[in-house]
Structure 1
Amino acid sequence: MSELSRRELIRIAEDMNEISNDETRHFISRIVDDLSKLKPSIAFVGQIKAGKSRLINGFTGQAGYLPSDVNPWTTVITDMHFGHPSGRTSGAEFHFFDNRQWKALIAEGEELRNMFPDDEDSYKREMIEEQVEAMKTRARLRLGESYEQLLGQRHDLEELTSEDLARYVCAGDDPADDGERDPGSDRGLYSDITRKAEVFFEIGHFPFPVTVTDTPGVNDPLLIREEISRQYLKESDFFVVVLSAHQALSRADLKLFRLMQALELGQIVVFINRVDELGGGAEDADKVKADVVEGLENALGNSEIDVLVGSAQWAHYALTGDESGIDHDQVLAWLRAHPEQMNQYLSGVQEIKQGPGPISREAILRYAAMIASGLPDLRHHVTQALANGPRSEQMRMAWQHLNGFAQGDLERSTARLRALDEERADDPSAIEGNKKLAELKTLIAEKSESITKDMDNVLANLRGVMDDTVSEAVSTVVRGSDGNSPLLSRDGETELNFGPLRERMRELVQGATQVIRQRMLSELYAVDMQSNSALRALPGWKEPVDNRMNTSAVRWFRPDTTALTRGITVELRVTWLSRLISRRSVVNRAERMIVQEFEMIGDDLIDTARGDLLDRMQTVVDHYLALLAGHLEHRAGPNGGNARAEAQQAVDRARRIVDELGSVLGPDRFEALHAEAAE
């Protein structure tokens, strides 16, 4: 399900919240909160020196953000939020340990180690306790008197530089080594007490909000850093296990995989990094990949973990232009050995060439390096897996709950409306009101028919007068007032002037519709008087304030005479030769054709006026009937009319919500997605 679907579900849920009862509102609020925070997390884990930081830079498109020339760089969990639900897109928050959290770190580590004990684990607890104490000591030396005040607190920076980041997550120099420490450097100043770093970015090239996490390496000489990585495994939805092509699937790697399997963690993909450092290129990389796949099968049994290969170094060059250690021939050879990536590269180059301006050789080389790096494939693999996995599942569950509430609300509101109608059907006042409304409808229908018949009589008379006027005026113009037709003039081409005829036709239609309008208003006024008289005869009737018929739609009617601006196609210019051959036939033919044209204009004027008048009369009548029905419903009981109106609104609102939910994820679409997830 798309990001647009998630936002639409949130909007619908918020609408539902406004009309729900307290119990339902509490549950829907939780759904809104869960959907708002729906931000899958992707953790990069693996041994130190596997190139995780540079790989993350390429994966996120944040070139050089996590420095990779410092080893080890990361000593704490670093969450990189892309499109955070809060809307924040810059800066960072750094959360500090307190004594309780340090103790929990040791205790939870003991639980994880007991799952897969080995000879080394027997002394790890003692070493980790010592290292935690060493961290506290270093922090006291670095921070001095502020150490105690900082525990359990956090720092919030609106903007973040690489120097800022280094103060919180870089190992830094040992403060005890006064001779070696740079007095002007505060790298690692807070790192020993920093529990977690959260950094905020725009959503970038991700299709939906995600969190990418950089973890301290496993198999770290400093066991506390390894312990932090292992314990964070339970916090993520997806894992990218980074292996080095030089030492893929070591004993420590296999132990990590077994632990992840035992914890029944989310989806996993393996990325074998640093293939650019293999002497045999693609051939060696294929062998390494095959060994990793076989090793996972043997160690885990029936492993379905996907294995991808690539180079964070090539991605670094593609993003920065830094050619250090880059062999372009090696990159192109890699693409030739991988047809799918080669096709992706060639298609991309064609697209780039269609853009504005010339394309440089460097741009082509950098694009080739990015495709060969495998990072676009990794990003596509991860986002697709997340979209079809936990993210989609959470959205489907939210939709199911919301749809259940909406369907229930529709059933309840429909039942309520039906019950009110049944109650009103047995209510003497309602029965009497319905009977009176039916009588008034009959009265109004009869009056409407009478008004229409009278209008048609007036318009029929107008049509006859209009035709006579047209025939007389056209004959006068075409034949000439003195008997000499302008069409037979020897002066050449002649224009016929029908301006006076057009004006006379306008006067005729305006006069006739004025008569109709006055008669219609008089009849409607009579209907209003009869209706109100009948209503006053009802027992207990109270005169409402707005019981008068609103006839403004008829009162302000003016006929549409735009048809009179239409040109006459036979206002023709007759050639001298035609005049010479048959003088009388030219005049007769022109007169006949012009009369037909003006008669059609007259018909259009009359038909348009009739249609407009009927529409306006119907508008007045419909509004008046609705007004009467409302007054009679209100009379059915102290809250009878209001209750039914409110019940109808509730039904309409519930049906709208059900329809909107169906458009986000209807039954057919839901079943298809459910089948996809099952596969």
Structure 2
Amino acid sequence: MDEGRRQELVRIAEQMSQTASDEAKPFISRILADLKSLKPGVAFVGQIKAGKSRLINGFTGQANFLPSDVNPWTTVVTDMHFGHPSGRTNGGIFHFFDNAQWQALLSEGDEIRDLLPDAEDNYKRQIIEEQIEAMKTRAKARLGDRYEDLLGTSHDLEDLTRDDLARYVSAGTDPEDEASQTDGTAAPYYSDLTRKAEVFFEQGHFAFPMTVTDTPGINDPLLIREEISHQYLRNSDFFVVVLSAHQALSQADLKLFRLMQALELGQMVVFVNRVDELNRGVEDAASVHADVHAGLERALDSNRMTVLMGSAQWAHYALTGDATGIDHDQILAWLKAHPQKMQRFLEGVERLKQTKQDGAAESALRLAAMIASGLPDLRSHVMREMSMGPRSERIHIAAQHLRNFANSELERRRVHLKIVDDETAEAHFAQTEDKTRAQLSQLVLDTKDRLTTGAETDMAALRQELDAVVRSTVSTVVQGEDGVSPLLSAGGATELDFGALRQTMRERLLDAAHAQRQKMLNELFALDMQSNAALAESGAANADAPLNVDASALRWYRPDTSILTRGITVELRVSWLARLLKQQSVVNRGEQMITHEFQSIANDLVNQFHLDLTSRLNTVMEHHLAVLATRFEELDATQTASRPDAHAALENAKRLANELEELFEEGIEPVQQLEAVT
């Protein structure tokens, strides 16, 4: 239904743009572009050798597309586009690094490492820098004089073979070995220079267009791969975190989860792969599932994480018929242990009996493997969660915006028909509507000024509130609740716990956001009342099309709190003996430095909140002014003023408004869901 609504909105928006007012056309064009580009992405992340590539092959139904042998990839992120907005369904584009992007690998990596400081960060940075230089060296050895020319460019292949893919994303052999084994005519490997690969497919069995991303992997001896995986986390809407049943929730996995939590990435699901390799099958799997749930709850303070289990190997067999290593008894035991899966299998077998005579037995075995693999459940879960998340919100907002423009266009056409029917009414309408439009526009500008000024005052108060919280909490932690400062510990290195302070700052920000949102919504509701009263007084009101401000951008706003995850590092550089001699001096110095760090965090937090809120308020007001302009804009004087034409234009506007109203009513408003999480 979600994708159907999007396609209908695209169709309606395209029709509306043909007859829209000059004021409305730019807005409708932006809405149309946003709807067409609405292609959410799901990234698969996890440790190397967790079976990620084969799992993606099963998830997408593209068996054997991504190589799943040992160590096939270099640093390349691979985006698999299904139903791309461009309409492209085959081939691939391979983007090459330029010198600035090489450097960005280090600078962006520094930002991410600052979120979760690690004792080995400096060492890791040095190793990553060396590995980047090694990649450059290998690329130069392979590509020779072409290296400089290729920097920052891309290759676009209309048709793509597995060999082509390997040349751009697979590590290959050492360049010197390649040179000795070929006569120089073989196609070169570009993998060390390739930054990202994009490959294109039909939409297939996905409910809506989407991108599936394979990341290089974490906990890789080649640290640059892990670095790129971390940096790409911000680029997707949904994440499948792949764990191995042999070592589910290792320290490397937990670090990845903490980083994703620090980045506030939002939607994710955990998939524990390789259950087919567990010694005691279902019994071991139940234990692993319980351990993963408990571990996530302890580490992340979250018991809401969905954990699915299955086998990419079983899905591979289901898709290809390759029965190597497949134990059918094990698959049957898995189905028996999961009644819902068994029921789906039995229903599928009945359909096979009715539709397929030859090879029905083999098809049944492969069907059992696919259902047991957990891939259908994973796909359904991802589709459902993505439909209910940001994608649904953007579609809903687009529908609201288009509906407002359609209603304003309808009013404009009604006025035009009255003018055509009674030429003496033209001057009256022009005078009345100019006055009404000016009055309504001034109401909007006055409301915006009040809200902007009020927000600035409230931001100043929030800064003072957070500053007081920082000073008080830092003092308590550093001085020690019992009067003995942790900084005077004889252990040397001291770790101070400011988790409670970060949580308090987050809660204060969310409370302030809720108050600001409510204040603005109340003012905008008052603006609605005043505007419709002015319309009624001028005689231009229409009970079927009241004038309402679309406040969606504010109603669903939730501030970004990722700044709160910023790490602080305070190096006192004082020996233990010096601490004993200058105890109070050390403690006071530490308190001042830490207070300054958190004051900086609080200031950045409020600045970002203010910037985002102001931007959304401006969007709401600009949109409403455009709606007003549409409602009162005079039609082009060169247009035919015959009654049939005016009546046809009115009927077209009415049809589009009705279609949007019906489509809007079919959707599920996400307001309650989004308000609940704030």
Query: Which band: TM-score by shorter chain?
Result: 0.5 to 0.7
Change (3 A) 1:371 1:678: farther
**Residues 160-213 of structure 1, C-alpha deviations (whole Å, 9 max, x = no match):** 111100000111222245799777897981111111101111111111111111
| Mapped partners of 2:668, 2:164: distance in 1 | 49
| Mapped partners of 1:186, 1:234: distance in 2 | 37
Q: Any unmatched runs of 5+ in structure 2?
A: 428-636
| Mapped partners of 1:316, 1:54: distance in 2 | 7
| Mapped partners of 1:641, 1:86: distance in 2 | 37
Aligned-partner residue type, residue 52 of structure 1: K
Quote the RMSD (CA, aligned, Å): 2.6
TM-score by length of 2: 0.65
| Mapped partners of 2:289, 2:214: distance in 1 | 24
Question: CA shift at 1:295, angstroms?
Answer: 0.9
Q: Which has the higher contact order (CA 8 A, sep 6+)?
A: 2
Alignment correspondent of 2:68? 68
Question: CA shift at 1:14, angstroms?
Answer: 0.8
Q: Secondary structure at the match of 1:17?
A: helix
Alignment correspondent of 1:52? 52
Alignment correspondent of 1:162? 162
Aligned-partner residue type, residue 661 of structure 1: L
Question: CA shift at 1:652, angstroms?
Answer: 2.2
Question: CA shift at 1:52, angstroms?
Answer: 0.3
Alignment correspondent of 1:122? 122
| Mapped partners of 1:236, 1:426: distance in 2 | 54
Q: Secondary structure at the match of 1:78?
A: strand
Q: Secondary structure at the match of 1:119?
A: coil
Q: Secondary structure at the match of 2:152?
A: coil
Change (3 A) 1:641 1:93: closer
| Mapped partners of 2:669, 2:294: distance in 1 | 34
Change (3 A) 1:192 1:62: same
Which stretch has the larger CA shift, 417-426 or 214-223? 417-426
Q: Secondary structure at the match of 1:23?
A: coil
CA contact (8 A) 1:173 1:181 kept: no
Question: CA shift at 1:389, angstroms?
Answer: 1.5
CA contact (8 A) 2:75 2:224 kept: no
Aligned-partner residue type, residue 95 of structure 1: H
- The reply to whether residue 665 of structure 1 matches residue 664 of structure 2 is yes
**Residues 85-127 of structure 1, C-alpha deviations (whole Å, 9 max, x = no match):** 1111111110111111111121111101100011121222222
Q: Secondary structure at the match of 1:270?
A: strand
Alignment correspondent of 1:220? 220
Question: CA shift at 1:5, angstroms?
Answer: 1.9
| Mapped partners of 2:308, 2:85: distance in 1 | 31
| Mapped partners of 1:640, 1:132: distance in 2 | 63
**1:4-23, aligned counterparts within 5 Å?**
4-23=4-23
| Mapped partners of 1:290, 1:45: distance in 2 | 21
CA contact (8 A) 2:418 2:425 kept: no
**Residues 569-599 of structure 1, C-alpha deviations (whole Å, 9 max, x = no match):** xxxxxxxxxxxxxxxxxxxxxxxxxxxxxxx
| Mapped partners of 1:381, 1:639: distance in 2 | 55
Q: Secondary structure at the match of 1:53?
A: helix
Alignment correspondent of 1:266? 266
Q: Secondary structure at the match of 1:354?
A: helix
Alignment correspondent of 2:641? 642
- The reply to whether residue 651 of structure 1 matches residue 662 of structure 2 is no
**Residues 203-255 of structure 1, C-alpha deviations (whole Å, 9 max, x = no match):** 11111111111110011111111111111111101100000011111111111
**1:123-142, aligned counterparts within 5 Å?**
123-142=123-142
| Mapped partners of 1:75, 1:258: distance in 2 | 23
Change (3 A) 1:654 1:132: same
**1:408-427, aligned counterparts within 5 Å?**
408-418=408-418, 424=424
CA contact (8 A) 2:396 2:669 kept: no
| Mapped partners of 2:56, 2:248: distance in 1 | 19
Change (3 A) 1:275 1:161: same
Question: CA shift at 1:262, angstroms?
Answer: 1.6
Q: Secondary structure at the match of 1:80?
A: strand
- The reply to whether residue 96 of structure 1 matches residue 96 of structure 2 is yes
Aligned-partner residue type, residue 16 of structure 2: M
CA contact (8 A) 1:10 1:35 kept: yes
| Mapped partners of 1:640, 1:60: distance in 2 | 52
Identity %: 63
CA contact (8 A) 2:55 2:312 kept: yes
Change (3 A) 1:11 1:640: closer
**1:179-190, aligned counterparts within 5 Å?**
189-190=189-190
Question: CA shift at 1:651, angstroms?
Answer: 2.7
| Mapped partners of 1:334, 1:73: distance in 2 | 32
Alignment correspondent of 1:342? 342
Alignment correspondent of 2:105? 105
**1:275-294, aligned counterparts within 5 Å?**
275-294=275-294
CA contact (8 A) 1:274 1:311 kept: yes
CA contact (8 A) 1:75 1:170 kept: no
Alignment correspondent of 1:567? none
Alignment correspondent of 1:152? 152
CA contact (8 A) 1:353 1:359 kept: no
Aligned-partner residue type, residue 34 of structure 1: D
- The reply to whether residue 396 of structure 1 matches residue 392 of structure 2 is no
Change (3 A) 1:181 1:232: farther
Structure whose alpha-carbon radius of gyration is higher = 1
Q: Any unmatched runs of 5+ in structure 1?
A: 428-637
Question: CA shift at 1:677, angstroms?
Answer: 6.1
**Residues 528-566 of structure 1, C-alpha deviations (whole Å, 9 max, x = no match):** xxxxxxxxxxxxxxxxxxxxxxxxxxxxxxxxxxxxxxx
Change (3 A) 1:649 1:53: same
**Residues 616-651 of structure 1, C-alpha deviations (whole Å, 9 max, x = no match):** xxxxxxxxxxxxxxxxxxxxxx99992665554443
CA contact (8 A) 2:248 2:292 kept: yes
Alignment correspondent of 1:200? 200
Aligned-partner residue type, residue 165 of structure 2: L
Alignment correspondent of 1:373? 373
